[in-house]
Structure formats: structure tokens, C-alpha cells
Amino acid sequence: MSDTAAIPTDTAEKKIFTLKQVAEHKDRNDLWMIINGKVYDISSFVDEHPGGEEVLLDAGGTEATNAFDDVGHSEDAYGILNDLYVGEVDPSEDVIRKTHTVKTSYEDGESVGDDHGSSSMIFLIVAAAVAAAAFFYLQGQK
């Protein structure tokens, strides 16, 4: 690893890294990854990761936004990321840049985990099937 790869450029107090610089940090004791255009040094978290160290080692030095999002991490995971933040990916680099927002209020009748009706629809279909089966069963008893 070259000495210059680990030296970021400060821009408006943010450390900026290229994809090449991040890619050089892929060892267990020097492990970085990119999530949503932000660079994280996850070296200190490898042993604590609930999904095991192999997941992190495989993603080390890479753009890992999709892998991170596919797992459906908790708000606690985002809090841990905040502690591991080291900078941003150079704006000229082509990486996924989404922002994560925490929902702080809910519309009337909406609750945490409300999926806007898909589980309600499944319940109604199952209830209708049970009602139809009961109807035909009782009709056959007459």
C-alpha cells in the first residue's frame, strides 16, 4: 500500500477519498467500506458485527451500499456507522449516494412497520377463503 493512499484531501472539513484509496483498505486490521457515498473505517467493528466477520471482510474496500441495504439494518446500525465515519467519496466518483432518514412522525392510524396494506390484504384473502370454505361445508351438511 502506498503512503499517499491513506492521506485524504480536506475539503470544507470533510475528508475526501477516491475509490482507489478506499480499495486499499481491505485487510482485517485496516478495513474500510463505502455506504451511500460515505467512507467508514469498520476495522474496530469486525469482531462485534452480528452477521459475522466474513460479511465485512468480503465487503472491505468496496462500495457496499446495496449489500448493506439488502440486509435491512436497524437504526442502531446507522448509529454505529456514524461512529465509524471517516469521510466522503470524491464527488466525481460513480457511487451510490442515498440518504437515510429516520421517520419521526406517523400519519393518523399508521404505526411502525405499517406496510400500507399488504398484510391487511393477505389477511382479507385468507379470511375470505376460510369463510368460503365454511359456507360450502355448511351447505353440504343440509
3-state secondary structure of 61: coil
- For domain 3-89, the CATH architecture is Roll (3.10)
pLDDT at 100: 52
Distance (Å, whole) CA 9 – CA 21 = 11
Q: Going by DSSP bridges, is the β-strand pair 14-17/85-89 parallel, antiparallel, or unpaired? A: parallel
Residue in the block written with cell 461512529: 83
pLDDT at 14: 82
Whether residue 60 contacts residue 26, with contact meaning beta carbons closer than 8 Å, is answered with yes
Phi first, then psi, for residue 9 (nearest 5°) are: -100, 125
- Cell numbers for 66: 446495496
Of 74, 57, 71, 64, nearest to 96 (Cα)? 64
pLDDT at 25: 96
Side by side, the strands of the sheet bearing 26-27 are 9-11, 14-17, 85-89, 38-41, 30-35, 26-27
Distance (Å, whole) CA 15 – CA 115 = 38
Domain positions in the chain are 3-89
pLDDT tens digits in sequence order for the chain, 142 residues long: 443 334 444 444 689 999 999 999 999 999 999 999 999 999 999 999 988 999 999 999 999 998 898 888 888 888 899 999 999 999 888 777 765 544 444 455 544 444 445 566 677 787 778 887 877 788 877 6
Whether residue 83 contacts residue 42, with contact meaning beta carbons closer than 8 Å, is answered with no
**Predicted TM-score of the model (pTM):** 0.60
pLDDT at 7: 40
